[in-house]
Structure 1
Amino acid sequence: MSSQRSFIASMSLNGMWPSLDSATKAALANLLAGANPNEIPQAVLTAAQEKDSALLAGIAAYRRHPWVREMPDPPEIWREGDSCIRDFGGGGTALLFVPSLVNRATILDLAPGRSMMRFFAQSGRRTLLLDWGWPGPVERGFGLAQYIARLDRAIAAQPAPVILIGYCMGGLLALAAAHQAPARIAGLGVLATPWDFHAGAPGRAAAIAQLLPLLEPVMELTGTLPIDGLQTLFTLLDPFGVGDKYRRFATLDQASARAAGFVAVEDWLNDGIPLAAPVVREVLGEWYGENRPARGEWRIAGRAIEPEGLRLPSFVAIPLRDRIVPPESAEPLVVALQGATVIRPAAGHVGMVAGTGAASALWRPLLEWVQRLDKS
């Protein structure tokens, strides 16, 4: 069997062709394993070709869709380098949202009716969004400790303690910042945040960590992992999800709100930003490779980041359909953050924060938790 066929044969046919029946999948598995193609029924090959046609139709439909994001940026109230805090208004204890360093902060302010930030501001809550910005000459030398120090300074610039809410990788940064100055944190929220990087599909974390030597040459040249490299990493986290979502998109009414929502998310994904090389080395090597957070060995400024040591009101959101952060990876935070309010919505990684059902899945439960903090 060729190495290419070995690789393809190891993939999940449930992910590649989820709508095919079990007999068809078995026949395809035989083909991929090197069986005589003449022994494969024509219906099987036709079904696979139809899948590819649907994928191409979905990509073409996305490319010609007219939707364009038109959301004015709210005013800045703090800036350091290319990072800033945007103020969406509202009153009371400020909610400071911390997105991932990967992709743009606009996923939390995606489109009308799909903006988590505007939902909270319109609910009367002071809503602040940390936008990490594009890594310039200074930020290209940043590791996680330097980004967390910048977050510390952003928090210190606020006139009163904030409720700190981190999304995805931003949740780990928020946890670390809460360790540095818990007196400045009125509450802590972690949304779709990984902790045990070896949880989930066997071998996935090791495969991601093993990419690091392959990425080093380009990082040496640019000081960053370029956008195309990040897209490759996301594809590896959910290798069949990319094709599936475009196939589904091809079946939508292209004039519908659902189609526009799909395009909004895809535009956000494709409008990425590079990631500083030192961060890539830490994330792939120390998080995915060595699993330092779950082992209690992740240290920032010489201090171990141990969620169980925090004594803060906490909120944990674990989307059960998350393919980027497997629910098993986030579950240890439920135990570590003692007494946390926990929700497990039937949503995906992005859908939980910006999908059509995000208000019921996350926004309203999070708002209710914040309102309870006011009364405690």
Structure 2
Amino acid sequence: MPIIGRAGRASLRDFGGDGPAVLFIPSLINPPDVLDLDAERSLLRWLATQGLRPLLIDWGTPVPGEHDLSVAGHVETMLLPLIDGVGAPVALAGYCLGGTMALAAAALRPVTALALLATPWRFACYPDKTRRALNELWQAAEPATDALGLLAMEVLQAAFWRLDPKRTIAKYEAHGGRDPDDPAARSFVRLEDWANDGPPLTRGAARELFIDLFERDLPGKGEWQVDGTVIDPAKLAMPVLEIASTTDHIVPAATTPGIGERIDLSLGHVGMIVGGRARSSLWEPLARWLSQSTQPR
């Protein structure tokens, strides 16, 4: 899709469509492809047929000189300038850590609406076992991260595996029994290619993620600052929609901000976006809400 804006290494792609602009913010972890996986599983291409104009941020790959750029720094130096550059009222929709960043941007810019998809905010609500495991993983990875200035994608993938190791083993076991030419097998491989791909995190973003978010829970405590402002979800004035999953082990429903309207699903973290029930469970309710919430008031 054509690039209509840049801020540093980040770019903004336009998926077309007539209607209000909705800027989708993916996580810093993994590429943004999950929102446009293929012709049959593209939330954004479908939304472009529903009276909306989806825009998608691609964070790109860290460049020299960015080693100390934090998660908040990505919001300040890339996300906010891209929002400003749209030149029209815009709604925000964030997925996973991208939702955490979208919430911060919504506190700093007059956006029309905010949709949060599987968005962590109250990190203290993760199971204690998970937080301990992630802390141990960071302790092991920190020396190499400090030396390189980057946290490798492989370390992040190991972190995801630790959140639900049984499910990780089960999905590969199921795949091993499929005919390689089965469409389900090809679909699985396409999704795994996405899940195991992606640029490294900057040292600053990794440190903030593991220490300030997961260990110290600064957002949940009301102490996380972006661009010099403490981000308080309760102060957001625009319409807000949260979509969470009761079966999500990567972003458990208990960790979401708990604001605005709420839709609870029983789909996995990725399945809610690209699974067989994604269109009826998430795409269609999201499209209806965005259409209603972005109308001039």
TM-score > 0.5, shorter chain as reference: yes
SS of 1:130's partner is strand
Match of 2:107 in 1: 179
Cα distance in 2 for partners of 1:298, 1:290 equals: 10
Cα distance in 1 for partners of 2:272, 2:183 equals: 17
1:326 is aligned, of 228, 236, 252, to 252
Q: Which shifted more, 131-140 or 253-262?
A: 253-262
1:122 is aligned, of 49, 60, 69, to 49
1:66-122 per-position Cα deviation (integer Å, ceiling 9, x unaligned):
xxxxxxxx0100112321001110122101000000010111110111011111112
Number of residues paired by the alignment? 295
Runs of 4+ with deviation above 6 angstroms? none
SS of 1:92's partner is coil
Please identify which structure carries the higher helix content: 1
Match of 2:265 in 1: 345
Confirm whether residue 167 of structure 1 aligns to residue 95 of structure 2.
yes
Confirm whether residue 103 of structure 1 aligns to residue 52 of structure 2.
no
8 Å contact from structure 2 (residues 112, 294) kept in 1: no
2:289 is aligned, of 348, 351, 369, to 369
Confirm whether residue 88 of structure 1 aligns to residue 8 of structure 2.
no
Match of 2:142 in 1: 216
1:238 is aligned, of 164, 184, 199, to 164
1:127-177 per-position Cα deviation (integer Å, ceiling 9, x unaligned):
100000111113333112220111010000011121100000000100111
Match of 1:69 in 2: none
Cα distance in 1 for partners of 2:38, 2:269 equals: 17
Match of 1:307 in 2: 233
SS of 1:317's partner is strand
What TM-score do the two structures reach when normalised by structure 2? 0.95
1:249-303 per-position Cα deviation (integer Å, ceiling 9, x unaligned):
2233443332222111101012221011111111101111111111111112332
Write the letter of the residue equivalent to 1:313.
Answer: P
Cα distance in 2 for partners of 1:156, 1:131 equals: 16
Q: 1:75 to 1:320 in 2, by over 3 A?
A: same
Write the letter of the residue equivalent to 1:173.
Answer: M
Write the letter of the residue equivalent to 1:91.
Answer: D
8 Å contact from structure 1 (residues 171, 191) kept in 2: yes
Write the letter of the residue equivalent to 1:316.
Answer: E
SS of 1:95's partner is strand
Output the aligned Cα RMSD.
1.5
Cα distance in 1 for partners of 2:203, 2:134 equals: 15
1:23-61 per-position Cα deviation (integer Å, ceiling 9, x unaligned):
xxxxxxxxxxxxxxxxxxxxxxxxxxxxxxxxxxxxxxx
After TM superposition, the structure 1 = structure 2 runs for residues 146-295 of structure 1, keeping only pairs within 5 Å, are 146-149=73-76, 150-181=78-109, 183=110, 185-295=111-221
Cα distance in 2 for partners of 1:343, 1:280 equals: 30
What TM-score do the two structures reach when normalised by structure 1? 0.75
SS of 1:141's partner is coil
Larger Rg: 1
After TM superposition, the structure 1 = structure 2 runs for residues 9-88 of structure 1, keeping only pairs within 5 Å, are 74-88=1-15
Write the letter of the residue equivalent to 2:210.
Answer: L
8 Å contact from structure 1 (residues 76, 85) kept in 2: yes
Identity of aligned residues (%): 38
* Structure 2: segments with no counterpart, 5+ residues: none
SS of 1:140's partner is coil
8 Å contact from structure 1 (residues 219, 225) kept in 2: yes
Match of 1:131 in 2: 58
Confirm whether residue 298 of structure 1 aligns to residue 229 of structure 2.
no
Write the letter of the residue equivalent to 2:117.
Answer: L
SS of 2:162's partner is helix
8 Å contact from structure 2 (residues 72, 101) kept in 1: no
Write the letter of the residue equivalent to 1:354.
Answer: V
8 Å contact from structure 1 (residues 114, 356) kept in 2: no
8 Å contact from structure 2 (residues 94, 102) kept in 1: yes
SS of 2:29's partner is coil
Cα distance in 2 for partners of 1:129, 1:172 equals: 16
Cα distance in 2 for partners of 1:359, 1:117 equals: 11
SS of 1:127's partner is strand
